[in-house]
Structure 1
Amino acid sequence: MKPLVAIVGRPNVGKSTLFNRLIGRRLALVEDMPGVTRDRHYADAEWGGRSFTFIDTGGFVPGEKDSLLKQVREQAQLAVEECDVIVFVTDGREGVTAADESVASYLRKSGKPVIVAANKLDNTTGTMQALAADFYKLGLGEVHPMSAEHNLGVNGLFDEVVEKLPPKEEGEGDAAPPDDGIIRVAIIGRPNVGKSTLVNAILKEKRVVASDVPGTTRDPIDSPLTYKGRKLLLTDTAGIRRKKTIAQQVEKYSVVAALKVMERSDVAVLLMDATEPAVDQDAKLAGLAEERGRALVIVVNKWDLVDNDARRQDAYRESLKHALKFVGYAPILFTSALTGSKVEKVVDVAVELAQQFRFRAPTPQLNRLLEHMVDNNPAPIVKSKPLRLYYIAQVAAAPPTFTVTCNQPEGVPDMYKRYITNQLRKTFDLRVPIRILFRGRPGQAKRAARKKPHLQGKH
């Protein structure tokens, strides 16, 4: 799994500015998929030959009693517990504050490698170093002067992060989970929606402790299962986090835990509570599956507590599709883990999606489809020139990834990208994430460069 790097600090020190600066570095960071989550709190990065994931957190206010600020603090604590390296962001112009000292005290107890980033220092190098020196008294080691807003010192921060990462593990940074014939299924969802109960119902034994108290699951739990001749590995996401000092209520922040288990899964089962409407956390977890390119099945649990009327189910399904329209391709199932109703259907669909996840399309069929698509819906005009699509090929599976060779790869409108995606889904009956890349013909850039002097000479 990719190492995790948590960005923490008290409010208003520039954590989000730094995070956005990191995201904006096209050289270093994997591009975002559009339209997935409304607020993004994590981003994959590549630097110095290593892949890792940054986690942004809210303002860290240790000991805060206000309920909202307490939740923010707990979320930051969760990120600290799960991460491999901590970037502690401070305001270099203000100097060390009592709140900084309080955060530093907590971080020292974590035992994790910490990089102190003295932010908002946009003067000359000498002045930056002088202002940053005050932060050495926090006792956290080296202090890194920088300005996220003006992009000063960001490369150096990347270098320090990579230096403090744990030794690289076999398979780290691989885009897809191992293809060893085992279907890896992550059970994700908010606390108390019935994740452990669902695992027990699937296994037909009480393998996982299930309770009405959120946060009951404490240890990483992998449950092997053989189903209709197929080998599966179920992981109850609630157990991914190592319990140390955080109160059990922190289990409500399941995104960080889901990040870790998603790295090694083929299929994510997003469990929701039929008695509660979809919330932002559900959307975040669905978006996480889409961004990680993992197959997703949405399971509405506790349906036995709702009037089991077909019209009610249809209405619920439509409202879910509207709330989670960015994963509109994902199947939606209605179950009761407690009674066992439709539980086997969850496994059937997970196996089916796992097969689609590793689907490969024949190249001749793909190009016949491309020709059909262009005939039925001609490519638009881009920058006063017709967009021409020459060739399509599948370049990867898990998830299915296609490359379209065209004359204007940077100018393909989003609407036409969606059209191609929808046609691929319809033709191959794919209900998993699809990635489409557009590139120019080999040598296209060189030919364009050769033409420019020739054209300039004619004027």
Structure 2
Amino acid sequence: MPRPLVALVGRPNVGKSTLFNRLAGRRLAIVEDVPGVTRDRNYADAEWDGREFSVVDTGGFEPDAGGGEPLNALVQRQAQLAVEEAAAVVLVVDGREGLTSVDQAVADLLRRSGKPLFVAVNKVDAARHEGDLPIAEFHRLGLGEVFPVSAEHARGVSELAEAVLQRLAVPRAPPPPEAAEELPEEGADAPRGPIRLAIVGRPNVGKSTFVNALLGQERFVVSDVPGTTRDAIDSAVEHKGQQFIVTDTAGIRRKSGVAQKVEAYSVLRAMRCIDESEVVACLLDAGEAGVEQDARLLGMVAEKGRALVVVVNKWDLGEQGGATQAWYRDELAKRLPFVAWAPMIFTSGRTGKGVAKVLDTAARLMEQYRARFPTHAMNELLERIQVSHPAPLVRGRRVKLYYVAQVAYAPPTFVIQCNRPESVNEHYQRYVENRFREAFGLEVPLRLVYKERQRRSRPPPGAKKA
């Protein structure tokens, strides 16, 4: 289920980006004490008290800015688009400056949206007592409950987040899996149904041409102008008896390049398609593959745990330039090592060469993505790993891996019980992951969770057995 989106809006320099970073739990937005730093919308997946949502930071919202500098008009439009897409909106105001006419005008616009609205009175860190908090006048906005916060010092942010998530009825994620809660093994029926395949990539890498070749018809507009596709479009495809839902998305470019209002809208739609998909085919341009935008997009797909096919498109042009697939694979392995597990296919949407292989590969990955693995085979593998390459000593003490069980699929998730989970370093985790990939032929994301083995409590002396 897609995460609900919470939009942060307000006039410039009220601290939206600081609040965004606080909710996201990491520094993602550029924060400077000057108006207008945030130009484009910035998105992040977030978790608060076990509940998952997305948050979007917007540029300064000035209702009368549209008639002035064109950039201001674009920033305003992006903020409006964020409000349209959001499940809830937080109006951020400056408690030090008090209520302004711009705040009131923004509130009037937000009221028309019909979305759940909240007011965050920011920069109240100087107030020492509840009576000193400058919030009374902000009730005049008529947007409901008003929350005094200091995003800089995390004051009041928890109360705001709690209220928003309760209003949206966001459920808490299930607790971390325990090894005892393992899945039925591979004999049980695996989930069936169409495979949701999202086609993503930077603008102008040939996504729509590629999908046209995949469908065998002129289903989409095809153009050499970046940004032709403005929204995500689904098409049903049957290939070798397997049903697919193929989604063509707008080009995702780096944040600083998002300028046109239609493209700003498209980025969010494309990101949501990744959330809703099971397999993602990420198209790279054979003429300039592995650039920064490619790396960011592939990293996002991997972080969300989706099965991935790396598609080097326009390969007919690459071959004309004398490139070989072996050279290309080596180059991309150097530039994109964090998705080295993903299969790579070379295609030409213009000629149709290699396009059908993407569906073949997606079907193969889906079997792995939904697979359930025998517990005995996994534990035999775990024992061999420790015999051939024991975990390094930590302060003279050995790390022991006792037991492994699969607790989830899509992506495959395994819990490894051990004596010192905090001492299993990143290098050894990667080694164990690679051994699991080799043993089970996995080309999809997998998650290994290290947990301390729960020891059974001993009965008190003299206690009788039941």
Q: TM-score by structure 2 length?
A: 0.79
Q: Give distance in 2, aligned partners of 1:258 and 1:266.
A: 14
Q: Which runs of 5+ in 1 are unaligned?
A: 26-39, 241-245, 451-459
Change (3 A) 1:325 1:203: same
Q: Bigger shift: 215-224 or 419-428?
A: 215-224
Residues 230 and 263, structure 2, Cα contact 8 Å, conserved in 1: no
Name the structure 2 match of 1:349: 361
Alignment partner, residue 454 of structure 1: none
Question: 2:368 aligned with 1:366, yes or no?
Answer: no
Identity %: 51
User: Distance in 1 between the 2:44 and 2:5 partners?
Assistant: 9
- Aligned alpha-carbon RMSD (Å): 3.6
Unmatched runs of 5 consecutive residues or more in structure 2? 27-41, 178-189, 253-257, 461-466
Partner of 2:276, secondary structure, is coil
User: Retained in 2: the 8 A contact 1:78–1:250?
Assistant: no
Per the TM alignment, residue 239 of structure 1 is displaced from its structure 2 partner at its CA by: 10
Q: CA deviation at 1:386?
A: 1.5
Q: Which residue of 2 aligns with 1:90?
A: 93
Tell me the residue number matched to 2:123: 120
Q: What amino acid maps onto 2:54 in structure 1?
A: T
- 1:125-136 to structure 2, matched below 5 A, reads 126-127=130-131, 129=133, 131-136=134-139
Alignment of 1:224 with 2:236, yes or no, is yes
Would the alpha carbon gap of residues 432 and 148 (structure 1) be closer, same or farther in structure 2, given more than 3 Å must change? same
1:386 to 368, 378, 398: 398
SS state of the match for residue 257, structure 1?
helix
Counterpart-to-counterpart distance in 2, 1:72 and 1:316:
39
1:285 aligns with 2:297: yes
> How has the CA–CA distance of structure 1 residues 432 and 253 changed in structure 2, closer, same or farther, with 3 Å as cutoff?
farther
Q: Any conservation in 2 of the 1:91–1:120 contact (CA below 8 Å)?
A: yes
What is the one-letter code of the residue matched to 1:159? E
Aligned match of 1:402: 414
- 1:45 counterpart letter in structure 2: E
Of 138, 152, 157, 1:154 maps to 157
Residue correspondence of structure 1 range 196-275 to structure 2 within 5 A: 196-218=208-230, 220-238=232-250, 249-251=261-263, 255-275=267-287
Q: In 2, distance between residues paired with 1:258 and 1:293?
A: 16
CA contact (8 A) 1:43 1:55 kept: no
Residue 428 to residue 385, structure 1, CA distance change in 2 (3 Å): same
Q: Distance in 1 between matches of 2:267 and 2:425?
A: 31
Tell me which residue corresponds to 1:3: 4
Check 1:74–1:188 CA distance in 2 against 1; reply closer, same or farther (3 A cut): farther
Could you say what secondary structure the match of 2:293 adopts? helix
1:191·1:251 contact (CA, 8 Å) conserved in 2?
no
Asked if the contact 2:411–2:447 (Cα under 8 Å) also holds between the matched residues in 1, the reply is yes
The answer to whether the 8 A contact 1:358-1:400 is kept is yes
Task: Give the Å deviation of 1:54.
Answer: 2.4
Give how far 1:60 is off: 5.1
Deviations 1:42-63 (A, max 9, x none): 123255x854222344555664
Q: 2:345 aligns with which of 333, 344, 349?
A: 333
In structure 2, which of residues 56, 80, 83 is the aligned counterpart of residue 80 of structure 1?
83
Indicate the SS of the match to 1:118.
Answer: strand
- Asked if structure 2 preserves the Cα contact closer than 8 Å seen for 1:214 and 1:248, the reply is no
- The residue type paired with residue 43 of structure 1 is D
Deviation at 1:163, TM superposition (A): 3.8
Distance 1:218 1:206 in 2: 17
Does 2:146 match 1:143?
yes
8 Å CA contact retained: 1:221, 1:239: no
Where 2:448 maps in the other structure, the secondary structure is: strand
Say yes or no: does 1:182 pair with 2:194: yes
Q: 1:98-137: CA deviations, max 9, x gaps?
A: 66456545544544332221112122452454x1234345
The partner residue of 2:167 within 160, 164, 168 is 164
Could you tell me how far 1:188 is from its partner in structure 2?
1.5
Question: Deviation at 1:223?
Answer: 0.9
